[in-house]
Amino acid sequence: MKIGNLEFAGRPVFLAPMEDVTDAAFRHTCKRFGADMVYTEFVSSDALVREVDRTMQKLAISDNERPVAIQIYGKNTDAMVEAAKMCEAARPDILDLNFGCPVKKVAGKGAGAGLLRDIPKMLEITSAVVRAVSLPVTVKTRLGWDDGSKCIVSLAEQLQDCGVAAITIHGRTRAQMYTGTADWSLIGAVKDNPRMHIPVIGNGDIDSPQRAKEAFDHYGVDAVMIGRASIGRPWLFEEVKHYLATGNLPAPRPLGFYVDVLKQETLQSIARLDERRGIIHIRRHLAMTPLFKGIPNFRETRIAMLRTESVDELFAIFDRIVEMLGGGDAIPPTLC
Protein backbone atom coordinates (compact mmCIF):
# COMPACT_ATOMS: atom_id res chain seq x y z
CA MET A 1 0.00 0.00 0.00
CA LYS A 2 1.20 3.50 -0.83
CA ILE A 3 0.20 6.86 0.62
CA GLY A 4 1.99 9.46 -1.43
CA ASN A 5 5.58 8.25 -1.54
CA LEU A 6 5.22 6.18 1.64
CA GLU A 7 5.13 2.43 1.13
CA PHE A 8 3.71 0.01 3.69
CA ALA A 9 4.33 -3.69 3.39
CA GLY A 10 1.88 -6.43 4.23
CA ARG A 11 -1.17 -5.47 6.28
CA PRO A 12 -0.38 -2.16 8.00
CA VAL A 13 -1.69 -1.31 11.46
CA PHE A 14 -1.85 2.35 12.47
CA LEU A 15 -2.25 4.15 15.79
CA ALA A 16 -5.29 6.42 15.68
CA PRO A 17 -5.01 10.08 16.69
CA MET A 18 -6.51 10.59 20.17
CA GLU A 19 -6.65 13.78 22.17
CA ASP A 20 -4.74 13.62 25.49
CA VAL A 21 -3.50 10.14 24.53
CA THR A 22 -1.22 10.09 21.48
CA ASP A 23 1.52 12.33 22.80
CA ALA A 24 5.14 11.63 21.89
CA ALA A 25 5.65 9.13 24.72
CA PHE A 26 2.69 6.98 23.74
CA ARG A 27 3.51 7.21 20.05
CA HIS A 28 7.05 5.97 20.72
CA THR A 29 5.72 3.10 22.84
CA CYS A 30 3.25 1.99 20.18
CA LYS A 31 5.96 2.28 17.55
CA ARG A 32 8.15 0.03 19.69
CA PHE A 33 5.43 -2.61 19.56
CA GLY A 34 5.04 -2.46 15.80
CA ALA A 35 2.60 0.31 14.88
CA ASP A 36 3.28 1.01 11.20
CA MET A 37 2.27 4.66 11.44
CA VAL A 38 1.37 6.92 14.36
CA TYR A 39 -0.66 10.13 14.58
CA THR A 40 -0.39 13.14 16.86
CA GLU A 41 -3.15 14.39 19.08
CA PHE A 42 -5.72 16.67 17.46
CA VAL A 43 -4.23 20.05 16.56
CA SER A 44 -6.66 22.97 16.48
CA SER A 45 -6.06 25.12 13.41
CA ASP A 46 -7.41 28.19 15.18
CA ALA A 47 -5.10 27.69 18.17
CA LEU A 48 -2.16 26.94 15.90
CA VAL A 49 -2.45 30.13 13.89
CA ARG A 50 -2.67 32.03 17.20
CA GLU A 51 0.53 30.20 18.23
CA VAL A 52 -0.92 28.90 21.48
CA ASP A 53 1.99 27.27 23.33
CA ARG A 54 0.31 23.97 24.18
CA THR A 55 -0.89 23.56 20.59
CA MET A 56 2.50 24.45 19.15
CA GLN A 57 4.05 21.73 21.33
CA LYS A 58 1.92 19.12 19.59
CA LEU A 59 3.93 19.68 16.41
CA ALA A 60 7.07 18.26 18.02
CA ILE A 61 7.85 14.98 16.28
CA SER A 62 11.04 12.96 16.05
CA ASP A 63 12.65 10.78 13.43
CA ASN A 64 12.36 7.63 15.55
CA GLU A 65 8.57 7.67 15.32
CA ARG A 66 8.36 7.95 11.53
CA PRO A 67 6.24 7.61 9.58
CA VAL A 68 4.16 10.04 11.62
CA ALA A 69 1.14 12.15 10.72
CA ILE A 70 0.01 15.44 12.20
CA GLN A 71 -3.76 15.79 12.35
CA ILE A 72 -5.48 19.18 12.29
CA TYR A 73 -9.09 20.23 12.69
CA GLY A 74 -11.14 23.37 12.20
CA LYS A 75 -14.03 24.86 10.24
CA ASN A 76 -12.41 27.96 8.74
CA THR A 77 -10.76 27.36 5.39
CA ASP A 78 -8.14 30.11 5.71
CA ALA A 79 -7.15 28.97 9.20
CA MET A 80 -6.90 25.35 8.06
CA VAL A 81 -4.66 26.35 5.15
CA GLU A 82 -2.39 28.45 7.35
CA ALA A 83 -2.24 25.71 9.97
CA ALA A 84 -1.42 23.16 7.27
CA LYS A 85 1.55 25.21 6.16
CA MET A 86 2.76 25.51 9.76
CA CYS A 87 2.45 21.74 10.13
CA GLU A 88 4.39 21.18 6.91
CA ALA A 89 7.27 23.15 8.42
CA ALA A 90 7.35 20.60 11.29
CA ARG A 91 8.17 17.91 8.67
CA PRO A 92 5.60 15.19 9.30
CA ASP A 93 5.26 12.44 6.72
CA ILE A 94 1.53 13.03 6.29
CA LEU A 95 -0.97 15.77 7.08
CA ASP A 96 -4.33 14.39 8.19
CA LEU A 97 -7.61 16.33 8.28
CA ASN A 98 -9.95 15.52 11.16
CA PHE A 99 -13.53 15.35 9.91
CA GLY A 100 -14.54 12.69 12.42
CA CYS A 101 -14.16 13.90 16.00
CA PRO A 102 -17.67 13.64 17.51
CA VAL A 103 -17.24 15.48 20.82
CA LYS A 104 -19.49 18.48 21.41
CA LYS A 105 -16.73 21.06 21.81
CA VAL A 106 -15.45 20.16 18.32
CA ALA A 107 -18.37 18.82 16.26
CA GLY A 108 -20.87 21.08 17.98
CA LYS A 109 -18.93 24.09 16.70
CA GLY A 110 -18.87 22.88 13.13
CA ALA A 111 -15.42 21.27 13.05
CA GLY A 112 -14.47 17.58 13.12
CA ALA A 113 -17.55 15.45 12.49
CA GLY A 114 -19.57 18.66 12.46
CA LEU A 115 -18.49 19.12 8.85
CA LEU A 116 -20.56 16.06 7.93
CA ARG A 117 -23.48 18.50 8.08
CA ASP A 118 -21.73 20.85 5.64
CA ILE A 119 -20.16 18.68 2.95
CA PRO A 120 -19.45 21.60 0.57
CA LYS A 121 -17.40 23.28 3.31
CA MET A 122 -15.56 20.00 4.03
CA LEU A 123 -14.67 19.68 0.36
CA GLU A 124 -13.64 23.34 0.15
CA ILE A 125 -11.28 22.92 3.11
CA THR A 126 -9.85 19.69 1.72
CA SER A 127 -9.17 21.09 -1.73
CA ALA A 128 -7.59 24.25 -0.33
CA VAL A 129 -5.27 22.32 2.00
CA VAL A 130 -4.23 19.88 -0.74
CA ARG A 131 -3.29 22.82 -2.96
CA ALA A 132 -1.43 24.61 -0.15
CA VAL A 133 1.05 21.89 0.88
CA SER A 134 3.33 19.40 -0.82
CA LEU A 135 2.75 16.73 1.81
CA PRO A 136 0.35 13.85 1.20
CA VAL A 137 -2.99 14.97 2.68
CA THR A 138 -5.31 12.34 4.13
CA VAL A 139 -8.73 12.51 5.76
CA LYS A 140 -10.33 10.76 8.72
CA THR A 141 -14.11 10.84 8.93
CA ARG A 142 -17.24 8.87 9.83
CA LEU A 143 -20.12 7.20 8.01
CA GLY A 144 -22.26 10.33 8.24
CA TRP A 145 -23.91 12.60 10.78
CA ASP A 146 -26.63 10.14 11.80
CA ASP A 147 -28.49 7.04 10.58
CA GLY A 148 -30.43 9.11 8.09
CA SER A 149 -27.37 10.60 6.44
CA LYS A 150 -24.80 7.87 5.93
CA CYS A 151 -23.10 9.47 2.96
CA ILE A 152 -19.65 7.91 3.20
CA VAL A 153 -19.68 6.02 -0.14
CA SER A 154 -20.30 9.16 -2.21
CA LEU A 155 -18.31 11.37 0.17
CA ALA A 156 -15.22 9.19 -0.17
CA GLU A 157 -15.31 9.71 -3.94
CA GLN A 158 -15.68 13.46 -3.49
CA LEU A 159 -12.74 13.61 -1.10
CA GLN A 160 -10.67 11.56 -3.51
CA ASP A 161 -11.53 14.06 -6.23
CA CYS A 162 -10.18 16.81 -3.93
CA GLY A 163 -6.78 15.13 -4.10
CA VAL A 164 -6.50 13.28 -0.79
CA ALA A 165 -3.95 10.47 -0.74
CA ALA A 166 -5.95 8.14 1.55
CA ILE A 167 -9.11 8.06 3.62
CA THR A 168 -9.69 6.60 7.08
CA ILE A 169 -13.27 5.73 7.95
CA HIS A 170 -14.56 5.21 11.47
CA GLY A 171 -17.52 2.87 11.16
CA ARG A 172 -19.93 4.96 13.23
CA THR A 173 -21.99 8.08 12.69
CA ARG A 174 -21.42 11.23 14.71
CA ALA A 175 -24.73 10.59 16.50
CA GLN A 176 -23.40 7.24 17.73
CA MET A 177 -20.34 8.85 19.30
CA TYR A 178 -18.53 5.72 20.56
CA THR A 179 -21.62 3.68 21.42
CA GLY A 180 -22.99 0.61 19.69
CA THR A 181 -20.86 -1.29 17.23
CA ALA A 182 -18.95 -0.04 14.22
CA ASP A 183 -20.59 -0.77 10.85
CA TRP A 184 -17.80 -2.16 8.71
CA SER A 185 -20.13 -3.02 5.83
CA LEU A 186 -20.10 0.59 4.66
CA ILE A 187 -16.31 0.73 4.99
CA GLY A 188 -16.24 -2.35 2.78
CA ALA A 189 -18.63 -0.67 0.34
CA VAL A 190 -16.20 2.23 -0.05
CA LYS A 191 -13.34 -0.18 -0.68
CA ASP A 192 -15.45 -2.13 -3.20
CA ASN A 193 -16.34 1.01 -5.14
CA PRO A 194 -14.53 0.55 -8.49
CA ARG A 195 -14.08 4.32 -8.76
CA MET A 196 -11.97 4.43 -5.60
CA HIS A 197 -8.22 4.14 -6.16
CA ILE A 198 -6.76 5.63 -2.97
CA PRO A 199 -6.11 3.48 0.14
CA VAL A 200 -9.06 2.93 2.47
CA ILE A 201 -8.16 2.56 6.15
CA GLY A 202 -10.72 1.03 8.49
CA ASN A 203 -11.25 2.15 12.07
CA GLY A 204 -13.65 1.16 14.82
CA ASP A 205 -13.77 -1.69 17.36
CA ILE A 206 -10.38 -3.19 16.41
CA ASP A 207 -9.69 -4.50 19.90
CA SER A 208 -8.07 -7.86 19.18
CA PRO A 209 -5.83 -9.55 16.63
CA GLN A 210 -8.81 -11.55 15.42
CA ARG A 211 -10.87 -8.41 14.73
CA ALA A 212 -7.98 -6.92 12.78
CA LYS A 213 -7.71 -10.02 10.60
CA GLU A 214 -11.47 -9.97 10.01
CA ALA A 215 -11.25 -6.36 8.84
CA PHE A 216 -8.66 -7.26 6.23
CA ASP A 217 -10.21 -10.56 5.18
CA HIS A 218 -13.90 -9.60 5.06
CA TYR A 219 -13.81 -5.93 4.09
CA GLY A 220 -10.63 -5.69 2.03
CA VAL A 221 -9.28 -2.55 3.68
CA ASP A 222 -5.72 -1.49 2.92
CA ALA A 223 -4.88 -0.85 6.59
CA VAL A 224 -6.55 -0.82 9.97
CA MET A 225 -6.35 1.84 12.63
CA ILE A 226 -6.47 1.06 16.35
CA GLY A 227 -7.66 3.69 18.81
CA ARG A 228 -9.14 3.23 22.27
CA ALA A 229 -8.20 -0.45 22.55
CA SER A 230 -4.52 0.53 22.63
CA ILE A 231 -4.87 2.80 25.67
CA GLY A 232 -3.15 1.01 28.53
CA ARG A 233 -2.35 -1.77 26.08
CA PRO A 234 0.23 -0.57 23.54
CA TRP A 235 1.49 -4.14 23.13
CA LEU A 236 -1.73 -4.82 21.19
CA PHE A 237 0.11 -3.74 18.03
CA GLU A 238 2.66 -6.51 18.51
CA GLU A 239 -0.10 -9.06 19.06
CA VAL A 240 -1.97 -7.95 15.95
CA LYS A 241 1.11 -7.93 13.74
CA HIS A 242 2.17 -11.37 14.94
CA TYR A 243 -1.29 -12.81 14.41
CA LEU A 244 -1.61 -11.33 10.92
CA ALA A 245 1.78 -12.79 9.96
CA THR A 246 1.42 -16.25 11.53
CA GLY A 247 -2.22 -16.91 12.37
CA ASN A 248 -1.20 -17.48 15.97
CA LEU A 249 -1.13 -15.28 19.04
CA PRO A 250 2.38 -14.45 20.33
CA ALA A 251 3.83 -16.36 23.26
CA PRO A 252 2.66 -15.02 26.64
CA ARG A 253 4.90 -12.81 28.74
CA PRO A 254 5.07 -12.35 32.51
CA LEU A 255 2.79 -9.78 34.11
CA GLY A 256 5.89 -7.89 35.22
CA PHE A 257 6.79 -7.21 31.58
CA TYR A 258 3.50 -5.45 30.90
CA VAL A 259 3.65 -3.52 34.17
CA ASP A 260 7.16 -2.36 33.25
CA VAL A 261 5.72 -0.93 30.01
CA LEU A 262 3.23 1.10 32.06
CA LYS A 263 6.06 2.24 34.32
CA GLN A 264 8.07 3.43 31.33
CA GLU A 265 5.05 5.32 29.99
CA THR A 266 4.64 6.95 33.39
CA LEU A 267 8.27 8.04 33.54
CA GLN A 268 8.09 9.45 30.00
CA SER A 269 4.96 11.36 30.91
CA ILE A 270 6.64 12.78 34.03
CA ALA A 271 9.70 13.79 32.00
CA ARG A 272 7.48 15.65 29.54
CA LEU A 273 5.40 17.40 32.20
CA ASP A 274 6.30 17.00 35.88
CA GLU A 275 5.60 14.38 38.53
CA ARG A 276 2.09 15.47 39.46
CA ARG A 277 0.84 16.37 35.98
CA GLY A 278 2.61 13.41 34.40
CA ILE A 279 0.86 10.96 36.70
CA ILE A 280 -2.50 12.66 36.20
CA HIS A 281 -1.99 12.38 32.44
CA ILE A 282 -1.24 8.66 32.65
CA ARG A 283 -4.32 7.85 34.75
CA ARG A 284 -6.46 7.27 31.66
CA HIS A 285 -4.03 4.59 30.54
CA LEU A 286 -4.07 2.95 33.97
CA ALA A 287 -7.86 3.11 34.19
CA MET A 288 -8.28 1.47 30.77
CA THR A 289 -5.56 -1.16 30.89
CA PRO A 290 -6.96 -4.69 30.93
CA LEU A 291 -4.06 -5.88 33.10
CA PHE A 292 -5.91 -5.26 36.34
CA LYS A 293 -9.41 -6.31 35.30
CA GLY A 294 -10.96 -9.20 37.17
CA ILE A 295 -8.59 -9.04 40.13
CA PRO A 296 -10.61 -9.99 43.25
CA ASN A 297 -11.07 -7.28 45.91
CA PHE A 298 -9.17 -4.78 43.78
CA ARG A 299 -11.36 -1.74 44.35
CA GLU A 300 -9.30 -0.09 47.10
CA THR A 301 -6.04 -0.75 45.28
CA ARG A 302 -7.50 0.68 42.09
CA ILE A 303 -8.66 3.84 43.88
CA ALA A 304 -5.21 4.29 45.43
CA MET A 305 -3.54 3.74 42.05
CA LEU A 306 -5.71 6.37 40.36
CA ARG A 307 -5.42 8.93 43.16
CA THR A 308 -1.74 8.99 43.96
CA GLU A 309 0.40 11.85 42.69
CA SER A 310 3.69 10.23 43.76
CA VAL A 311 5.66 8.07 41.35
CA ASP A 312 7.23 6.13 44.22
CA GLU A 313 3.81 5.34 45.66
CA LEU A 314 2.40 4.43 42.25
CA PHE A 315 5.28 2.08 41.44
CA ALA A 316 5.00 0.51 44.89
CA ILE A 317 1.36 -0.25 44.12
CA PHE A 318 2.38 -1.77 40.79
CA ASP A 319 4.98 -3.94 42.52
CA ARG A 320 2.46 -5.14 45.11
CA ILE A 321 0.06 -6.13 42.35
CA VAL A 322 2.75 -8.05 40.49
CA GLU A 323 3.82 -9.81 43.70
CA MET A 324 0.22 -10.59 44.62
CA LEU A 325 -0.52 -12.09 41.21
CA GLY A 326 2.80 -13.83 40.73
CA GLY A 327 4.73 -11.63 38.34
CA GLY A 328 6.79 -14.49 36.97
CA ASP A 329 3.75 -16.21 35.53
CA ALA A 330 3.05 -15.67 31.87
CA ILE A 331 -0.22 -14.02 30.89
CA PRO A 332 -1.85 -14.96 27.57
CA PRO A 333 -2.12 -11.93 25.28
CA THR A 334 -5.91 -12.42 25.07
CA LEU A 335 -6.10 -11.48 28.75
CA CYS A 336 -3.98 -8.34 28.32
**What is the distance between the alpha carbons of residues 330 and 50, in angstroms, rounded to a whole number?**
50
Q: Which helix (H) or strand (E) holds 313?
A: helix 311-325
Q: Pairing state of beta strands 6-7 and 2-3?
A: antiparallel
Question: Is 37 within 8 Å of 15 (Cβ atoms)?
Answer: yes
Which one is catalytic: 87, 101, 162, 336? 101
CA distances from 221 to 167, 211, 245 (A): 11, 13, 16
Question: Is 102 within 8 Å of 65 (Cβ atoms)?
Answer: no
Annotated active-site residue 101? The verdict is: yes
Question: Is 13 within 8 Å of 241 (Cβ atoms)?
Answer: yes
DSSP for 131-164, please give it. Answer: HH-SS-EEEEEESBSSGGGB-HHHHHHHHHHTT-
Q: Shortest CA distance to 314 belongs to which of 274, 282, 273?
A: 282
Catalytic center residues: 101
